[in-house]
Amino acid sequence: MTSAATTRRSIPWTSSVLGGGSALAAAAFAWPFFVSAVPADAQVAVPIVAFALIPALIVALALTLDREMYTAKTVALLGVLSAVGAAVRIAGAGVGGVEAVFVLLILAGRVYGARFGFLLGLLTIAVSSLLWGGFGPWTPFQMFACGWVGAGAGLLPHRPYSDSRNTAGRRWPARFEIFVLAAYGVVASYLFGLMMNLWFWPFAVGTGTDISYAAGADPGQNLASFALYSLVTSTLTWDTVRAVTTVVGITLVGPAVLAALRRARLGPRR
């Protein structure tokens, strides 16, 4: 299922629900920056609204996508791949938090399209959290962020791609595709880190430090505080490790995994 095929088949309102839902979710992630825009009386409620909004949006988007995914092949691939993703994630936690799960999300999102990639991100986090017992208020945020990583890969532009059996003839486009996906992997790794830091920042630091979130301060100061927080918390460490793992992973197993996924291509529902 290419993304082009998806858009052709889908009902327009699905797209608007997905787009609108994602925009709302992005706003909920960025709640620390919206607080000052809200009347003073309501400011206390903002984090609570953000925390309630994300799970609600997940349910809404899952309901929207569920009908579309209801074919045997999609459900089987989604289930099996999210098991692989969860296994990769749990195995990664054992070796110093090397996050290799993006490799799978990006490659599967690329081949099966944005919607599949989004659901795969959601389910991978859900399954690994259930299995490992790491369910908490952070899980919905992780689910959304991973869903976007998979969806983004599905939205990357498709070059005209010859489907012939002659592998030698398409070596250049194939390499180019791997390069684009690896580059996307780097961007996604850092953006993922920023997104996850954003909503959690006020809780992680608390009050009373110079990089604390200050509800009354001007957005510029908050932005600078957040930038420094993000830099020391994850950008220099976890996110960089994740970006490197993703690039190495996509380069090493990308061609073979893409070939495997494409050979099992999702047929249109007939």
Partner 1 sequence: MFRLRLAPLRAAVLLAVGFVLLRVVYRVVFGGASGAGAVIVDLPRLRLDGPFSHITLFGPITTLGLGNAALSALPVAAVIVFFGLLNASINVQALFTRGAGRGPLRAISRSLVIAWATFPALVESVRRVRVARALRGQRSIASLLVPIFEQTIERALALAAAMETRGFAATGIVAGVCEAPVVLAHAMLDFGTDDRATDWHLDDLNVTLQPGTLTVIIGATGSGKSSLLHSMSGLFQHFYEGTQRGRIDIAGADRATTPPRDTAGFVGLVGQNVRLAFAAETVHDEIGFALAVRGVAPPVVHERVLEVAARLRIEHLVGRSIEQLSAGEASLVAIAAALVNHPILLLVDEPLADLDTAARARVCAVLGQLAHDAGVCVVIAEHNTREFESITDTWLRIRDHSLHQVTLHQVTSDDVRSTAATGTDVTARIPTLPEVPLASIRQLSVRHSTDLVVSDVSFDVPVGDLIALRGSNGAGKSSLLRAIALPTTTDTVIVSGSDVRSLKRRARRQAVALVPENFDDLLFAITVAEECRRADRGRTGASTAQTFADLLGLAAPNIAQLLLRHPRDLSAGERLCLVLAIQLAARPALLLVDEPTRGLDRAARALVSAALLRAADHASAVIFATHDDDFALGLATRTLYLQNGRLVAPTEVLS
210 lies in the site for partner 1, by CB under 8 A: yes
Among 7, 15, 71, 240, binds partner 1 (CB under 8 A): 71
Determine contact, residues 75/69, Cβ cutoff 8 Å.
Answer: yes
Among 13, 132, 161, 176, binds partner 1 (CB under 8 A): 132
74 lies in the site for partner 1, by CB under 8 A: yes
Give the nearest distance from C-beta 65 to partner 1 in angstroms: 8
Among residues 87, 145, 89, which one has the least CA distance to residue 117? 145
The pair of three-digit structure tokens given for residue 231, joined into one six-digit string: 């830099």
Among 2, 20, 38, 73, binds partner 1 (CB under 8 A): 73
Give the nearest distance from C-beta 214 to partner 1 in angstroms: 9
**Which residue do the tokens 């991973």 mark?**
146
Site size for partner 1 (CB under 8 A): 69
C-alpha dist (Å) from residue 30 to 55, 191, 215, 224: 15, 13, 13, 15
Among 23, 221, 236, 237, binds partner 1 (CB under 8 A): 221
Cβ count near 146 (within 10 Å): 28
Determine contact, residues 104/84, Cβ cutoff 8 Å.
Answer: yes
Helix spans in 95-218 (H): 101-112, 114-132, 138-155, 171-205
105 lies in the site for partner 1, by CB under 8 A: no
The pair of three-digit structure tokens given for residue 63, joined into one six-digit string: 């309901």
Per-residue contact flags (x/-) with partner 1 for residues 75 to 94, judged by CB under 8 A? xxxxxxxxxx-xx-------
Cβ count near 257 (within 10 Å): 19
Give the nearest distance from C-beta 39 to partner 1 in angstroms: 25
257 lies in the site for partner 1, by CB under 8 A: yes
220 lies in the site for partner 1, by CB under 8 A: yes
Among 35, 114, 123, 143, binds partner 1 (CB under 8 A): 123
Give the nearest distance from C-beta 14 to partner 1 in angstroms: 14
Q: How far is residue 168 CA from its own chain's centroid? A: 33
Candidates 17-25, 40-48, 120-128, 147-155: pick the segment binding partner 1 (CB under 8 A): 120-128
Task: Find the Cα–Cα–Cα–Cα dihedral 214, 215, 221, 223, rounded to 10°.
Answer: 100
Catalog residues that contact partner 1 under the rule CB under 8 A.
62-63, 65-67, 69-84, 86-87, 119, 123, 126-127, 130-137, 165-168, 203-212, 220-221, 223-225, 227-228, 232, 252-253, 255-257, 259-261, 263-264, 267, 270
